[in-house]
Every structure is written in structure tokens, then in C-alpha cells.
Amino acid sequence: MRGLRSGDRPESIAKTAVCSGAPGLADDTESMSGASRRIVRLRVCENPFPLRGLRALTWSLVTHAVEEGPPLKLPSPETPLSIGEAQQLAQAALAEGRLERAPAERLAANLDTPGVLTALLEAASESKRSAHGDRVSVSRNVFIPLTNLCRNRCRYCTFAKLPDSPEARTYTVEEVEEVVRGGVATGCIEALFCLGDKPEVAYRSYREDLQARGFASTTELLVAGCQAAFEGGMLPHTNAGILSAAEMEQLRPWNASMGLMLETTSQRLRGKGMPHMHAPDKEPSVRLRMHEEAGELKIPFTSGILLGIGENDTERVDTLLAIRALDDRYGHIQEVIVQPFHPKPGTGMRAASSLRDETVAGWVALARLILGPAQNVQAPPNLAPEVLPLLLQAGLNDWGGVSPVTVDFINPEAPWPALRALREATTTAGQKLVERLPVYPQFIHGQPDFFDEKVREALPRFANDDGFARSSQQSGEEAA
């Protein structure tokens, strides 16, 4: 990348900003006129990920307003911020509808500075309310870990098991049906399928087990499980790790939505001794490609960022901007999860420190401002149960999936809050909890081409006129 230099003048910067084939880049210089020509939301071309349709998109964005004449000098992210400066940056992002790279990095680097977090939370909360009002949503679900075998070896994970482990398990379709019956009985709508990445690539014994069951691949088993859940009265959402476009097409007829945590765009974390060294499916370009292909297939898609696994502020901002660029291009990102890492015993990162709650809240707020008011920003309540009011101040509008039936198999040490308790915490913070489907209202009512015909016809059985869950779906003591 050719970086901005202190001697750069606006004319040369504008030329640097134009990247062939990148939609909208030239538009950012259209507001230049007369003696006081101004460049706003200047985008600097950089894309280290070799993607097809996205190779012209910009991952590195800079926001700065300059006048013709003096050389452009951008402050480094570590430059201390006063409360007044933090308020100006946050309010400017609020006015423009999104936060760009330079101010995002400055705010991130100063989260511990007194007053900066408050300014950020205030702007993020206002941004959230401008698009979502006082509503905060939650999805009542069942969690189905179809198989906990995985070919990846992330240094922080306890979900993945080896085939000879007594905890290794691969569900049968009949076991899926049993979980679904429990979900239907307790008013759940979403059947969340979460599983390890392509274990058949790594384990012969697993391949043989699949063949004995009549399946040639994990995807075939997953399709059968999703069909069973759909026909059993629930709406599946699949998070199966890396899937090809052809595999997503096979799953689309039975899924209301799908997802993949982008986690991070950091190539550095794939290096020797790093968290993703032995995790080929955590290659950033591979994960970005799946996001792109989901957009091409018009699949409502969940993404997210994983905080605290060794990434730095710049890499976090990169990740959020990459997600935003994908949604700008395809309009398919239905929600973005901001998930903090917590170290677990028995893993390579067991001695790592968890992020401070205030830092997590700061990144929820930064995600809100970077992604814009309309995006659905989620933070799992079971991973920060003591600071739910702080997270609500940070601009989230969704708690994610919460189950009255199953545990969080990814974070089994963190129990779900009861839906009634979550409602009370949300109400106490001056907001209103509403239940949703595994797909958001804007897709249900405004984008019917994002669903297979079978799913599209089923949606009215679950959704009310606003696109949220019908009140008849709620039952028992766990009703929100």
C-alpha cells in the first residue's frame, strides 16, 4: 500500500484514492469545489485478500477533511484525545452515519482515557435508537452441535474433540428430531446448527461412521438435519464453518439464514505460535470468500468479530470495515456479533487475560458507529452477565440466541440467562425486549428473494406484522 505522506496534497491524494473497479470510490471526491475543495471519507486502496468480486473493495479507510493548500497531516491513533475531541469524533460519525478508520483507531486507542468511553457510548446509543428505537431483540432457540469433531486446532477452543475422546459426538437425524420436539414444546423458533469444520478431511474413523449412516459428507448429514428441523416445526440457522457455494445452495431450501463469524482479518494470527496456526479454515481470505458467496446467493448472513485472541486495534477496525464493505456490496449481512474471548482451562490460551468489560462495551459501541445505525449489532448476554446495562448503553440491539432447552456448547461454562431475567434487565435499562426469528424483519418483509420458496411460505407462521416472533410462539415460564 502507498500510505499518506506528510507532503501529500489533496489533488494527489484524490488520485491515490481512485481504485479501478471499486464502486463508490470516486464518488467521495465529488464534493470538491471552488477554492475550498474538500475531500471527505477519503478511501485509500488496500486489499490484502485475493478475492474475486471483492479484490477491488477497500479494506483500509481514512476519514479526514482537508483544505487545499497546507500539507495533510493525520494524527497517529495513539495521539491522546481530550473529552471534547472524543465527543467531536463520535458526534461526527453519528451525523455521517458511519465511523471511518482514522477516528475509529483514535477512539479505540483512547478507550481508557477518562471521558472517551462515555462519549463513545452516548453516540452509539443515539445511533441505535435512531434506527431501532427502544427495541432489543432475542431469538429463543435450541443449540444443535451436529458434530464436535473438527479439522482445525484453534488454541482457544474447547468445542472441538478428537474422535477417540469420550466427549466426541455426532448427532443422528433422530437425535436432531428429539431436540426439535423439545424446542417446539418450549416455544423456540430457531434451530441453531453449529459444528466443526470438515472433520471427514482429517479423520478416517469419522468418514467411515458417516458412510455407515448413509452420508458421503458432513454437509449431507447437515442437510438432512436441517430438513428434519424445518419439517419438525422450527426454522434452522446454520453455522457450519467453511462451506462452498454449492454446499450453501444445498442448505438454502431448509434454512432461514446462515452465518460464519469472520472473527478477524488478521493474517498475522495464522503465524507460528499464534491462535490460528493450525486452523486452515481461519484463513481470512477463505472466510471472506464465503461471506461473498453467501451474498451472491442472497442468503441472510450473520457475521461477527472475536475480541481478545491477540489481535490489535487496527486489525479489529479492519475486520469491522471488511464486514461493512461486504454488506455495502451485497446487502446480506443481517447481524454482526461482537464476541469477547474468555480463556478456558486445558487450552493453549488458558493463561491469557480476558478483556475488561469496559473494553468490550467500547468495541460494541465502535461496531455500532462503524457499521451504522441500521445494522443489527449483537453481544451475547451469557459472556458478560454482570454488565448487561453497560452493553445496552453501547448501542447493541440484539442479545442473540438464548435457549431454555440446551446449553451454549461453545461456551458451556457460561449459562444462558433466563428469558424473563433478560427481559427485566432490558426493561430496567429503559428498553423493550422482543423475540425474533433467526432472520430479521427487514428480510422477512422487504426481501423475499433472499429465501427459498419453502422457507418464504413458512415465515408467516412464525412472524407477526412487524416481522418479529408471534406472541403465540412464547410459552411457559421462560416466555419473554
- Indicate the pTM of the whole model: 0.84
**Which residues touch 207 (CB under 8 Å, ≥6 apart)?**
200
Q: Where are the alpha helices (DSSP H) in 218-270?
A: 218-231, 245-251
Q: Which of 38-42, 134-138, 328-332, 347-351 has the lowest mean pLDDT?
A: 38-42
pLDDT of 14 strictly over 60: no
pLDDT of 19 strictly over 80: no
Percent of the chain with pLDDT over 70: 80
Q: 55 or 275, which is more confident? A: 275
**In sequence order, what are the beta bridge partners of 73?**
none
pLDDT of 238 strictly over 50: yes
Judged on CB neighbours under 10 Å (0-12, 13-18, 19+), 383 is buried
Distance between CA atoms of 238 and 255, rounded to whole angstroms? Answer: 7
**Nearest C-alpha neighbor of 29 from the set 44, 40, 16:** 40
**Mean pLDDT to the nearest integer, 214-239:** 98
471: its cell numbers = 406472541
Report the SS3 class of residue 63: coil
Domain boundaries, the chain: 1-74, 135-473
User: Could you tell me the CATH superfamily of domain 135-473?
Assistant: Aldolase class I (3.20.20.70)
Amino acid 195: pLDDT: 96
Percent of the chain with pLDDT over 90: 71
Residue 16 region by backbone torsions, left for phi larger than 0, else alpha for psi between -120 and 50, else beta: alpha
Distance between CA atoms of 198 and 242, rounded to whole angstroms? Answer: 8
Cβ 410 vs Cβ 347: under 8 Å? no
**Grid-cell match 408467516, residue found:** 460
Judged on CB neighbours under 10 Å (0-12, 13-18, 19+), 465 is exposed
Torsion of CA 86, 88, 93, 94, to 10 degrees: 110
Task: For residue 406, name the pLDDT band (cuts at 50, 70, 90).
Answer: confident
Amino acid 17: pLDDT: 32
353: its cell numbers = 487475560
**Mean pLDDT to the nearest integer, 387-392:** 94
Task: For residue 411, name the pLDDT band (cuts at 50, 70, 90).
Answer: low
Q: What mean pLDDT, rounded, does the chain reach?
A: 84
pLDDT tens profile 23-36:
333 333 333 333 23
Amino acid 56: pLDDT: 38
Most confident of 25-34, 47-56, 139-148: 139-148
